Amino acid sequence: MIFVDTGAWFAVAVPSDPDHDDASRWLADNTEPLLTTDYIVDETLTLLRARGERRRALLLGEAFFAEQLADVYRLTEADIASAWEVFRRFDDKGWSFTDCTSKVVIERLNILQAFAFDQHFRQFGSARVVP
C-alpha cells in the first residue's frame, strides 16, 4: 500500500504542474494499491478549485468518491486527536494539520511508501518518498 499526498494528486491532474511528467510516469508504472485520506481529498479538491482548475476538481472528485484512484481512508476521532498531538509536538516544523493527519495514518497503518512531492514527508521519517 502506498500513501498518496495532495501534491502528487495535483501534479497528476494538472499538466502545467512542474512535477506532472514525473508524477504521471510514476503513477502509470505503479502496480501497488494506493491509499489517500478524506483530508487529502478535501485539500486536493480545494487546491484545484482555488487555482482555477474547476473542471479538473470535479473530474478528480468523481474518481475519488467512486474510489477509482485509491482507497480513501476516513480519519477517526482517535486519528484526529493523534494528529493534534503531532501538530503540537512538532510545532517547530512547517507541517500543516493535514500533513500531521497523514503522518498519523502512515504510522498507524505501517505504510512504507508515500507518493508525495511535499518535503515534509521526508521529515516524517516514517515512509520512503516516491518518485
Q: Are 14 and 7 in contact (CB under 8 A)?
A: no
62 CB-contact burial (10 Å; exposed 0-12 / middle 13-18 / buried 19+) = exposed
- 15-69 pLDDT, tens per residue? 999 999 999 999 999 999 999 999 999 999 999 999 999 999 999 999 999 989 9
- Domain of 86, in residue numbers: 2-130
Q: What is the pLDDT of residue 45?
A: 98
Q: What domain count does the chain have?
A: 1
Give the mean model confidence (pLDDT) for residues 91-116.
97
Domain harbouring 105, CATH code: 3.40.50.1010
Could you write out the three-class secondary structure of 24-67? HHHHHHCCCCEEEEHHHHHHHHHHHHHCCCHHHHHHHHHHHHCC
Q: What is the pLDDT of residues 4-14, one digit of tens each?
A: 999 999 999 99
pLDDT band at 126 (very low <50, low <70, confident <90, very high): confident
Mean pLDDT, range 117-121, rounded to an integer: 91
Task: Give pLDDT, residue 37.
Answer: 98
Tell me the pLDDT tens digit for each residue of 77-96: 999 999 999 999 999 999 99
